Chain A
Amino acid sequence: MAPSPALLLTLPAFLLTAALAVFLTASLRLLALLPSRRPHPPKRSPGTPTRLLVVLGSGGHTAEMLALLRTLDPQKYTHRTYVVSSGDSFSAERAMEFEKLVGLKAAGRERDGRVAGERGQGLTGEGGAGVGSYDIAIVPRARRIHQSLLSTPWSALRCLWSCFAVLRAPSAALSLPKCSGAASIYGYPDLILTNGPATAVIVILASLILRFFGVGGANARDKMRTIYVESWARVTRLSLSGKLLVKVVDRFLVQWEGLEGVGGRGEFFGVLV
């Protein structure tokens, strides 16, 4: 016996309505993720634990990123997570070297502060100028050089999957100092800083997916804010990563005047490296 004509009509109508509803909700949610719609972050008082996530890439990207960070204040950005691709021991070593320097500088500041205090000039600063903590998170490579385009989606997906975990909390195994307990203090990064390696695109995509679904308060206005700094090597045209990310990151910085205003977003404050 054939189904009644009424049922034949209702089922597609129902499916269509459902699909439309999902589509509309998703679009609205997506729009809300866009940087132009994102509310400003609330004021953050000094001393608030703050997690900065830095994406490192192959040689040139890593060198530039660490140059960008040379004025990093560890008393503001109390925990740093460095995301490194598996097999990229160069970047991991550079990150550890960089942190050693951050520690030395903080020790120097503390010493200076004490000397000034003994002379009775002003404040000695908070006792024990903290250097905070850091961890190095290793994710599978999004795409190897010369990897076939066919297998790229698979490796990119594996990378994306591990980025979720990296974003959720600092990795306990690779946190320094060992006793910091950073994994329990910090959740999502407050700020994600990247400059162009392929991994950066995946990390930002992972953060957008988490915000889209609001996993664990991922879309709070003071969580996972993103800054992209286009490589200093890009004078007149954006890199592929830059083109992909120019509309979705909260801030987009360029280092050559010719790129100011690119994509309606590019901010130019001179050379940053």
Chain B
Amino acid sequence: MSHDENKRPRKLCFVTIGATASFDSLISACLEPRFLETLSSAGYSDLLVQYGKDGKALFDKLVAEAEKLKQLGVAIQGFDFNRQGLTEEMRVAKGGPGDSEGVVISHAGSGTILAALRMDVPLIVVPNPDLLDNHQAELAEALEDQGYVVYGRLNNLSAAIAGSEKLRKSHKVWPPVNSGQHRRAKGLAGVMDEEVGFLD
């Protein structure tokens, strides 16, 4: 079993579809042979998929199909959901001593996006086209415009991996500094104090 992958530093691609809705098309996209090849050539050693409570059957089926791609050296694992949050998984994707920094591929839920931005790990955001209200797509677009994330498309997730390598280089730190045009910035604490009368 253990041939060349042990020689490489660990580099994790962590895919999360969130807790609320199922997102079969993202599970499929990240287990496509072409995408696995892209991961392999970008130096990834591990692919971890959080597939949600309805995703196990699809995940197992696709992993079985990807069996013949074993020589790519990308170890694939999955789990349904972690009630404690996904911080630990993101930390592994962030890498550390002896490990390379990987990437997080996430549905466009704001909580997951924020967690990844705070963890300062490159992030690919894939909005779910099945959700009625597409405000999540607007968030992903706005964040891509500002250079914080890569907007991932389901039909070409491989391109997003290339984009994430650029993101790693440009490395823009979250949160944005409130300076210049937002000099008035006093934050929520300031507004709260004004409203209850705590004035200094």
Contact = CB atoms under 8 A, between A and B. Distances in A.
21 contacts: A41-B196, A52-B192, A59-B109, A64-B111, A69-B188, A77-B192, A90-B83, A191-B195, A191-B196, A222-B197, A227-B188, A227-B192, A232-B110, A233-B136, A234-B139, A236-B138, A256-B142, A269-B184, A270-B176, A270-B185, A271-B175
Contacts of B19: 59
Q: By DSSP majority rule, is chain B's interface helix, strand, loop, or mixed?
A: helix
B110 A193 contact: no
A77 B192 CA distance: 10
A228 B189 CA distance: 13
A76 B135 contact: no
Question: 6 nearest interchain CB pairs?
Answer: A44-B197, A233-B110, A63-B111, A41-B197, A270-B178, A235-B138
A225 interface: yes
Given A41-B195, A237-B135, 14 more contacts: A43-B199, A58-B20, A59-B109, A60-B109, A63-B114, A63-B115, A67-B114, A71-B188, A191-B192, A231-B110, A232-B110, A233-B139, A269-B190, A271-B178
Given A73-B189, A193-B192, A233-B136, A42 B110 contact: no
Interface in A204-231: 222, 225, 227, 229, 231
Contacts of B141: 235
Interface size class of A (residues with CB under 8 A): 35 or more
B82 to A, nearest CB: 12
B130 to A, nearest CB: 15
Contact of A59 (B20, B185, B186, B198): B20
Nearest to B175: A271
Contacts of A271: 175-176, 178
A270 B190 CA distance: 13
Contacts of A41: 195-197
Contacts of A190: 196
A127 interface: no
Contacts of B110: 60, 63-64, 231-233
Nearest to A42: B197
A256 B177 CA distance: 14
A76, A237, A271, most chain B CB atoms within 10 A: A271
Given A234-B135, A235-B135, A269-B184, A253 B197 contact: no
A190 B193 CA distance: 11
Contacts of B189: 71-73
Contacts of A107: none
A222, A234, A270, most chain B CB atoms within 10 A: A270
Nearest to A240: B133
A97 to B, nearest CB: 10
Contacts of A239: 135
A265 interface: no
Given A73-B189, A270-B176, A43 B197 contact: yes
A270 B175 CA distance: 10
Contacts of A191: 192, 195-196
A150 to B, nearest CB: 20
Contacts of A60: 109-111
Given A269-B187, A270-B178, A46 B198 contact: yes
Interface string B124-139: 0000000000011011
A251 interface: yes
Contacts of A237: 135, 138
A76 B185 contact: no
Interface in B105-152: 109-111, 114-115, 135-136, 138-139, 141-142
A240 to B, nearest CB: 9
